[in-house]
Amino acid sequence: MMNTCLVITGASSGIGAALAERLATEGASVVLVARREDALAEVAAKCGPNALAVAADVTRREEVERVVKEALGRFGRIDVWVNNVGRGISRMPSELIDADVEEMIRVNVLSALYGMQAVLPHFKARGDGHIVNVSSMLGRIPFAVQRSAYSAAKHFLNALTANFREEVQSTHPGIQVSLVSPGVVRTDFGLHARHGGADNRTLPNSQSAEEVAEVIAGVIASRRPDVYTPPGAHDRVVAYYDGLGEDA
């Protein structure tokens, strides 16, 4: 990762912080983005002198565009952009209100869309670049009914990622757009869900943020387009859809 510059959103804790610290140990320059300035500063201190903390709300397009400008102003280039912002929800689908759905789309979809669109001109000018969108296993299998709006937003993100990749690579094949789908991760994600939620650290079959960060680092190195982080996840997804589908 030497001489590589990465922008990581949602970098103040959890997967984003673990990824930043992991890549910084390999000599990468990291731009850490989140709303919590104090928490960002702590992560930046762990990452060393080649870390830039940018406090920003990435659900606002103009804030994301500012991140691009600050990253380029400090490092002169961006090689990888990781969209890692997300928020869950605890509400049954029959009880959802407009505000629930709007927030799930704003946080889980629009933040990524703004990042992809903001960095794309820079990548096109260079003819190279890598976008990594962090999704969820719930974006493949809607196995948690109370997370329905979150699951739907991640399905949206998955489709958006695939279509963005196809559009961009038709003219700029050197630009990759990858999707990474974690399962349950031992962070405070569940506790911060809209309407509250269970502590992910108490749930079975979980991974640590560091384990997920290791997979994402591998995706950045390999540029693979679509990766699940839990062991055996691919087979579970295939089995789920095989059980649902029938020919007409």
Catalogue the active-site residues.
150
Q: Phi first, then psi: what are they for 15, rounded to 5°? A: -60, -45
Check: CB of residue 34 under 8 Å from CB of residue 55. Answer: yes
Burial of 62 (0-12, 13-18, 19+ CB in 10 A): exposed
Closest CA to 120 of 81, 75, 161: 81
